[in-house]
Structure 1
Amino acid sequence: MSPRISFSVLAIALFLVGTSAQDHPEEELNSISFGYSGTNGPEKWGSLSPLFNECSSGKTQSPVDIVKDKVVRNKNLKPLSIDYSPANSTLVNNGFNVGMRYEGDVGVLIADGKNFSLKQVHWHSPSEHRINGEQYPTELHMVHQAADGSFSVVSILYKYGDADPLLTKIKDQLSELAKEVCAGNEEAHIPVRSISKEQVEALQAPLYSTCKKNARPAQPLNGRQIELYDELGDHE
C-alpha cells in the first residue's frame, strides 16, 4: 500500500507525516549552516549534516504540490482531534524563521489514535506547500512530537486579506527582532488567519539574507497518495 497524505482544506490545513529541515529540534538546526538560496540552499541540504541525509535520499519529503484533480476523496478519514490549553510562549528569531516556543504542556494533537504534543510553531513566507501550483503568501507550521520521537506537522496556509490577530499582538516584538538579527538568537517573552502584506514583510525582515523567502521547493510524491477529507473549496 502506498503511503498517503491526509488533509482537510476546509480550514486550509494539512496534516503531514514527513517533515522538512526546519521541523527538526531548534538546537540541532542552530549547529548547521543552511539557507534557502546560495551555496547552502535546499539542493545542498542533504550533504550539510547527517541530520539532513533524508533531504536528498528520503522518499516521503515535504512540502508537496496538491493537485486537485489527482487527490482522492476518502469518506473514512477522521478529522484531527486537538486539545490545546493556554500557555506562555517565547518569540524566537533564529535567522531562518520566526517562531514561538512553548513552555510546559500546551496540549496534544491526536491522529490515528496517537498523541502528539505541540512543541513549537513557526512561519514560512512564502508558503512551502502549494495547491494546484499556487504558492500562498505565508504558511504556519505547528510542530508536534510523540513519545516515540516521531513528528506530525499541521500546516495552515494564509491568503492576503485582513491582518492576522496573533501577528498583530506581537508586531512590536517582531520589529525588535528585525533590529537585532545580527546578534543571534534574540528572544522576547510574551504571554500566550488571513494575513496582511505588512505582516508578511515583518516575518521576513528579521531573517538572514539567504532565508528571507524560507520556502523549500515542492518535493515529488514518490507514489504517495493524497487523500482529501473535505472539499478544496474556492481557494484555487
Structure 2
Amino acid sequence: MEKLAKQVLFCSLLTALVLLPFPVIMSHLVEDESEFNYDVKSKRGPYNWGNIKPEWSICKNGSMQSPINLLNKRVQIAPHLGKLHINYQPSNATLRNRGHNIMLEWLAGTSYLQINETQYVLKQFHWHSPSEHTIDGRRFDLELHMVHEASSGEIAVIGMLYKAGRPDPLLSLLGNHIKAISDCTGAEIELGVLDPWLVSICRSRTQYYRYSGSLTTPPCTENVAWTVLTEVRYVSREQIRLLRVAVHDDSNARPLQPINNRLVKLYIPLQDSNRLVQR
C-alpha cells in the first residue's frame, strides 16, 4: 500500500510539473491525445490522421493499412509458415500511460520473435478496446498488440483477441499499477522483472493469420508483419473498464481498413490441415 501511495503521489506531481518548462517531462507527451484521438467526428480523429502531419499522410494514402477484417473464406492455408518461433525471457519492464493507451515496455532486449531468418526484438505490449482486427466481421472486446522490431527497423506485431469472461492473468498482475497511472498522461512505473510468457502462447499448436499491414496508430507505417492468433482469450469486464478509464477513452480502436487484394495466410499445423482436406 505504501508503494502504491507513492505511485499515486508521483502521478499527481507529474501532472503539476507538466505546467513547468522542463523538457524532460514534455518528452513523455509525444504521443498524447493532443496529437490525435479516436473520435471519428473530430478533426484529429482516425479519418483525419493523415491530414494532421505531413509525415502521417500514409494514414490516408497507404494501400497496406491495418486493421483489417480477416475473412476465413479468403485466406490461403499455409502450413509451411511453421509454428511461431518465439524466445521470451524475463525482463525489467516499465508501465506507461501514453494518453491513448497503456503500454508495457520491455527493457532488456533479450526476447524476440523470429520470422524466416529475421529476429524481431520484443519492445512493448499495449491494448486496444474493442478489438481492432475482426474475424469474419466479428469484433471482440479487447486486443493486445505485442510489438517487435528488427535491427533494420522493420516491425512485427502479434495480435491477441479477447472476449469478456474470466480475468486475464497479466492484467490481474498489473491492475493496481494501471490504477496508479490512470488519468495521468506520461506517467510511468518501473515494475522490476516480469515474464512476457504471462500471455501464455502455445507455440506448438497455435494457429494464426499472417499478412502485411501497418501500425494502427500514427504514423501508420506500412510493411508491418502482422500475426493475429486465432485463439480468442478471456478478459474480465472490470479489466476492460480499467484500461478505458485509465486513458479516458470509450474506444481506442482504429476503424477497419481496405484489404486491397492483400493475401492473408492462415497457419494451421500440417496434421490439422490434412484433416481439413480429408473432410
TM-score strictly above 0.5: yes
User: CA 1:121–1:27 in 2, change beyond 3 Å: closer, same or farther?
Assistant: farther
Q: Are positions 1:85 and 2:125 aligned together?
A: no
After superposition, give the CA deviation of every residue in 1:13-53 in whole Å (9 maximum; x if it has no partner).
Answer: xxxxxxxxxxxxx8753496100002211100111123322
Alignment correspondent of 1:13: none
CA distance, structure 2, for counterparts of residue 97 and residue 195 of structure 1: 17
Alignment correspondent of 1:35: 37
What's the C-alpha RMSD, in Å, of the aligned pairs? 2.0
Shift of residue 177 of structure 1? Answer: 1.9
User: 1:71, 1:225 within 8 Å by CA — same for their partners in 2?
Assistant: yes
CA distance, structure 2, for counterparts of residue 152 and residue 27 of structure 1: 24
Q: TM-score, normalised by structure 1?
A: 0.80
Larger radius of gyration: 2
Alignment correspondent of 1:109: 113
User: 2:29, 2:98 within 8 Å by CA — same for their partners in 1?
Assistant: no
CA distance, structure 2, for counterparts of residue 81 and residue 69 of structure 1: 26
Shift of residue 105 of structure 1? Answer: 1.7
Q: Name the SS of the counterpart of 1:171 in structure 2.
A: helix
Shift of residue 167 of structure 1? Answer: 0.5
CA distance, structure 2, for counterparts of residue 31 and residue 161 of structure 1: 30
Alignment correspondent of 1:186: 187
Q: Name the SS of the counterpart of 2:164 in structure 1.
A: coil
Q: Are positions 1:96 and 2:100 aligned together?
A: yes
Alignment correspondent of 2:69: 65
Shift of residue 149 of structure 1? Answer: 0.8
After superposition, give the CA deviation of every residue in 1:209-236 in whole Å (9 maximum; x if it has no partner).
Answer: xx430000111111101111128xxxxx
2:250 equivalent among 206, 209, 212 = 212
CA distance, structure 1, for counterparts of residue 30 and residue 65 of structure 2: 19
Q: Percent identity?
A: 35
User: 2:33, 2:99 within 8 Å by CA — same for their partners in 1?
Assistant: no
User: CA 1:221–1:81 in 2, change beyond 3 Å: closer, same or farther?
Assistant: same
CA distance, structure 2, for counterparts of residue 155 and residue 32 of structure 1: 26
The letter of the residue matching 2:51 is S
CA distance, structure 2, for counterparts of residue 229 and residue 102 of structure 1: 27
User: 1:125, 1:213 within 8 Å by CA — same for their partners in 2?
Assistant: yes
Shift of residue 207 of structure 1? Answer: 0.9
The letter of the residue matching 1:190 is L
User: CA 1:78–1:107 in 2, change beyond 3 Å: closer, same or farther?
Assistant: same
Unaligned runs of 5+ in 2: 1-27, 195-232, 273-279
Q: TM-score, normalised by structure 2?
A: 0.68
After superposition, give the CA deviation of every residue in 1:76-127 in whole Å (9 maximum; x if it has no partner).
Answer: 2222211110001111111100110111223111012111111111000100
After superposition, give the CA deviation of every residue in 1:181-223 in whole Å (9 maximum; x if it has no partner).
Answer: 2x43111221315100000000111114xx4300001111111
Q: Name the SS of the counterpart of 1:92 in structure 2.
A: strand
Structure 1 runs (4+) greater than 2 angstroms displaced: 26-32
Residues 126-137 of structure 1: matches in 2 within 5 Å?
Answer: 126-137=130-141
After superposition, give the CA deviation of every residue in 1:150-173 in whole Å (9 maximum; x if it has no partner).
Answer: 111110011222100111011111
CA distance, structure 2, for counterparts of residue 121 and residue 29 of structure 1: 15
Unaligned runs of 5+ in 1: 1-25, 232-236
User: 1:126, 1:213 within 8 Å by CA — same for their partners in 2?
Assistant: yes
CA distance, structure 2, for counterparts of residue 204 and residue 117 of structure 1: 28
Structure holding more helix per residue: 2
Aligned length: 202
Alignment correspondent of 2:230: none
Q: Are positions 1:176 and 2:180 aligned together?
A: yes
2:146 equivalent among 136, 142, 149 = 142
Q: Which has the higher contact order (CA 8 A, sep 6+)?
A: 1
Alignment correspondent of 1:202: 242
